[in-house]
Amino acid sequence: MELIVARNREDLVKARRGGDVALVPTMGALHEGHRSLIRQARVRADQVVVSVFVNPLQFSPNEDFSRYPRTFDADLDACRAEGVDVVFNPAVEDMYPPGRQVSVSAGEMGTIVEGAFRPGHFDGVLTVVLKLFNLVRPDLAVFGQKDAQQLALIRRMVADLDLPIEILGGPTVREPDGLALSSRNRYLSESDRRVALTLSRALRAGAAQFDPSQIRATAQDVLDAAGPELDLDYLALVDPATFREVGESHEGTAVLAVAARVGDTRLIDNVTLTLNPH
């Protein structure tokens, strides 16, 4: 079946057909990480919808909204290759009509870790995700684990607002050298990329520690060795559901998360590990 491009709400209604619907929300500039999410959705659903929308609400005034890569023709090619049924590509004015006043609040979890460095970011994320849920009406939606706090907040929103949608998380896809795939990687110079590899090296070093008290310290040592070329925002060991910091006595799953700026590019990464297994 030919790929349908829905540019507005009316197109989206016409494109919908019966059966289970899966949504993969993206901001475009699709890479192998996105494609892996699409494949996960394809296995589970009769119809796969990929949204391509650079959401202005999740960018602060000093962030890279205008610079964010837009590669729509290449995105369509990737969606065709993965068997996507519908690409939803609305204009900003269609998603946010004049006079809009109501937004979703991410609550306390939206103000910690990543949220402490990007005030209002997660409010913007949850607002656009809820709007996409209401427009597409999916049975399930797939998000990447690389944005672990975003995934946790979307799960919290679905639970708190009683949304009848199953949320699936897709594993982080990496380059052969370990760098987590990101649409922003294209901004890295060759020398920046070498520095950026410190993030995944630090996470691997921390996750390899058996003693919980050494996880953060070991990862921090690796980050410090990168020198001033790596501007660290945070290194945090957190509960994957709440993103609150966990202590050495924590039992079960935890997320070791990092964010840093390399040159003009801000990158995030994380790994999931198990503390104090029985």
Annotated binding-site residue numbers:
27-34, 58, 144-147, 150, 173, 181-184
How many Å apart are CA 196 and CA 192, to the nearest integer? 6
Pick from 34, 115, 129, 114: which is nearest to 81 by CA? 34
Q: What are phi and psi of 33, to 5 degrees?
A: -60, -45
Decide if 250 is catalytic: no
From 34, 121, 250, 278, the catalytic residue:
34
Binding-site residues for ATP: 27-34, 144-147, 173, 181-184
Give the number of other Cβ atoms within 10 Å of residue 55's Cβ. 21
Using DSSP's 3-state secondary structure scheme, residue 238 falls into: strand
How many Å apart are CA 265 and CA 190, to the nearest integer? 13
Binding-site residues for beta-alanine: 58
Binding-site residues for (R)-pantoate: 58, 150
Amino acid at 18: G
Tell the burial category of 175 from Cβ atoms under 10 Å away from its Cβ (0-12, 13-18, 19+).
Answer: middle
Instruction: Tell me the catalytic residues.
Output: 34
